[in-house]
Structure 1
Amino acid sequence: MLLFCLLVLAFGSQAQEKYKIVDQAGREVALGKIIAEVESKPLVFFGELHGQAEAHALELDLLTAMHQRYPGRVKLGMEMFEADVQPIVNEYFQGFIQEKSFETESRIWTNYIKDYKPLVSYAKSNNIPLLATNVPRRYANSVYHQGLTVLDSLNTYAKQYIAPLPLQVDTTLSIYAEMLQMMPDHKNANLVYAQGVKDATMAHFIEENLQERTIFLHVNGAYHSKRKEGIPTFFKQYPKEKILVIQTLKSADVTDELLKEADYSLIIESM
């Protein structure tokens, strides 16, 4: 217990230097408070704004603190890896292939080296399972161009990397309705269906890997867990009261209403 208290103090000090986290009332909180809460809310979604240094720093600190507080129980899931590269992830973590092969064949994002490699390296070094949760982008792209029904024509091999079909996407859900409103013509629902396929697939692979004592950190874009919708919408059994959501907000955008859309908010300086 003394060691954990010292770790909490250390992380709290680092947090003051690297980022600012607030609760729903706008009060600044230390990282240690969130880590303690994870015991009762063991599925943590970190909704990032891609490419923001503060967000990626907090992701690594979250994973590190969770691992130190809950050794042997932590799993990491990432939107940034698609489900069909899971065998490549496993081969890399088990030492069968080299880092160069992993990075060449796993379709890493362009900002992987700077933003996500530290997270993956920490997980590998500490035997934390890494789950590739996202739908292969080629299938999401097909949905965008042809609609949801295109998934029905895929073969058995392809379907193992997608949430079970048939898939229903409720376009009236607040986050999807927002996406439609942001579109120039307000008409093409296929963008929302493509988003829904991603959300449903990530939910499927997360839920498959949630055992009784699992502490699960999932890193994704903010819209995939906003208001505990998106990915959580598609859970079959996992209760929302056991989910903790951290969102990322630019300081210029912060309002009382937005702060209530997540359990905690990372506040970054507006660009």
Structure 2
Amino acid sequence: MRKISLLFILLFTSLFTWSQDSNRILDRTGKEVNLQVIVDEAKVKPLLFFGELHDNAAGHQLEMKLLQELHKANSKQVILAMEMFEADVQFVIDEYFAGLINQKSFEQESRIWPNYKEDYKPMLEFARENQLKLVASNVPRRYANAVYHKGVNVLSDFPKSSQKWMVPLPLKVDTTLSTYREMSAMLPGHDASNMIYSQALKDATMAHFIVKSWKKGHVLLHVNGAYHSKNKEGIITFLPKKLQELTITINSIKEADFQKEDLNLADYTLVLK
């Protein structure tokens, strides 16, 4: 079974090879760089945040390649963490990685995203085959949804057994951050406030489980939507200051939307066709 899964990964990556002829990685100066530059920098800044476009296949291919290259450089000292899995399914992931449940049971019970099989399964299976830790970092969506509809104070009404799947309360949010101000401008009024706190609950919870999971000497790759880490805000603002200094951010943007100022939003910008 393990050989079949590994064959699947190899076939997938050979069929869908990342091409830097049509897609570019740029540093903050606009210089085009290759993936090895990021892998080398991870030796001193081991917390990597890959801000993806959820519907872009080329970006997913680069995530997979980055995970492979980090593993090649660091062996089993790599941790994969993903927004796409919610914290309360961590035990389902652990059971699957331990061989206690089969793939079908895992996929049925872990609330996989609609594009999981095409875009995220190769990374997960690579982590499983190579005995890497996979962290389900996101808050369960029912709690973020409750905040959006009822406001942030509803979180304190949840029992302690529920609160263990989110950042410790109270949730403190700097609503002046540029990403949250953008959100407020899109939805002025009461709804905007609830949306900001709903988003911040996700950001803060992902930061919480990243801190809990990362170990000194390890490299952690976190995969999340670009909005959660652009401008070194979102998730990163909820990390302790000393860990913020250990971060590398990658922001994804389509070439048609790319402007020179976008280089300021991350350490590296992935410009996609």
Shorter-chain TM-score above 0.5: yes
Structure 1 segments unaligned to the other structure (5+ residues): 1-12
Aligned AA (1:53): A
Partner of 2:77: 73
Contact 1:47 1:225 in 2 (8 A): yes
Q: SS at 2:195's partner residue?
A: helix
What is the aligned counterpart of 1:212 among 216, 219, 243?
216
Partner of 1:227: 231
Structure 2 segments unaligned to the other structure (5+ residues): 1-16
Name the TM-score, length of structure 2 as normaliser: 0.91
Contact 2:45 2:245 in 1 (8 A): yes
Partner of 1:201: 205
Aligned-residue identity in percent = 50
Partner of 1:258: 262
What is the aligned counterpart of 1:123 among 104, 127, 149?
127
Q: Structure 1 residue 72: deviation in Å?
A: 1.7
What is the aligned counterpart of 1:38 among 31, 37, 42?
42
Partner of 1:162: 166
Aligned AA (1:190): N
What is the aligned counterpart of 2:66 among 59, 62, 68?
62
Contact 1:207 1:238 in 2 (8 A): no
Distance 2:94 2:213 in 1: 14
Q: Deviations over 1:10-50 (max 9, x none)?
A: xxx95425632111122211111111111011000000011
Distance 1:242 1:187 in 2: 36
Contact 1:47 1:222 in 2 (8 A): yes
Pair 1:17–1:100, CA change in 2 (3 A): farther
Distance 2:18 2:224 in 1: 23
Q: Structure 1 residue 240: deviation in Å?
A: 2.0
Cα RMSD, aligned residues only:
1.3
Aligned AA (2:30): G
Partner of 2:194: 190
Partner of 1:22: 26
Aligned AA (1:198): K
Distance 2:143 2:185 in 1: 24
Pair 1:94–1:164, CA change in 2 (3 A): same
Q: Do residues 177 (structure 1) and 181 (structure 2) align?
A: yes
Aligned AA (1:164): P
Name the TM-score, length of structure 1 as normaliser: 0.91
Distance 1:70 1:77 in 2: 16
Q: Structure 1 residue 218: deviation in Å?
A: 0.1
